[in-house]
Structure 1
Amino acid sequence: MNIAFLLTPKNEVIYEYIDATMRQVIERMEHHGYTAIPLIDKHGRYVGTLTEGDLLWKLKNTANLNFKNTENVKVSEIAIRTKHKSVSINADVESIIRLATTQNFVPVVDDEGIFIGIIKRSDIINYCYNAIKKDKKIL
């Protein structure tokens, strides 16, 4: 079964461009209460997921960096410590379950690598729960 029915489309997702500043990302993540955010390039391609941990490590390991001057740091200058894998819109549900064990969401791209949305871990869990409930009729 195709994953499109689980997709939260890009227009409903909070993401950021790779040329944004560290401060913009921090404020966006705080405002929405997220611990990770997908990053895209100027062409709309998914380039990675930035986490709170990535931001903290940058802050810790950069001399004289504080919240006020994070507006001078581009997101592209922040090391992304964990590679969050994306999947094609043509992937099946089974292929995203393993990714969801280590990622809060799974980024979804089209055949050109263009970011088209995410599949949230909670939606995957609900899908699996409903499938088990339907098949077992005991839950």
Structure 2
Amino acid sequence: MLAAGEQRRTVLVVEDEVLVRLALADDLRARGYTVIEAASGDEARKLVLAGVEFDLIVSDITMPGELDGADLARWLHDNHVTTPVMLTSGMPSALDAARESCANVTAFVSKPYDHDDLLQQVEALLARSDD
């Protein structure tokens, strides 16, 4: 819930697995966040190019399309988008590769993740971005 005068934060959830995306989006909405969903890195890039602003981007790494989550993070960095990025993956090798190649990513989370733990990390990242 939002305190009086507190601004609603916007989180972009980028996940190709529909049920995973819906569950995370629902959890974030229940915590008072505005959530925008994208099924691929390509969709996320279109939203950024359209001028949609986010306080945090939570993206799976392995997705179909031209941009996977790590590619999206690198594209954001290359285009000077400073929104914090959290990457998730069920593949440890994908997380390791992203750690080495995505300097702008602020958190890496292994799947399957505990939703409460992930939400705590979201809150911590957003609190850090307020500083």
Normalization by structure 2: what TM-score?
Answer: 0.31
Normalization by structure 1: what TM-score?
Answer: 0.30
Q: Greater relative contact order: 1 or 2 (C-alpha under 8 angstroms, separation 6 or more)?
A: 1
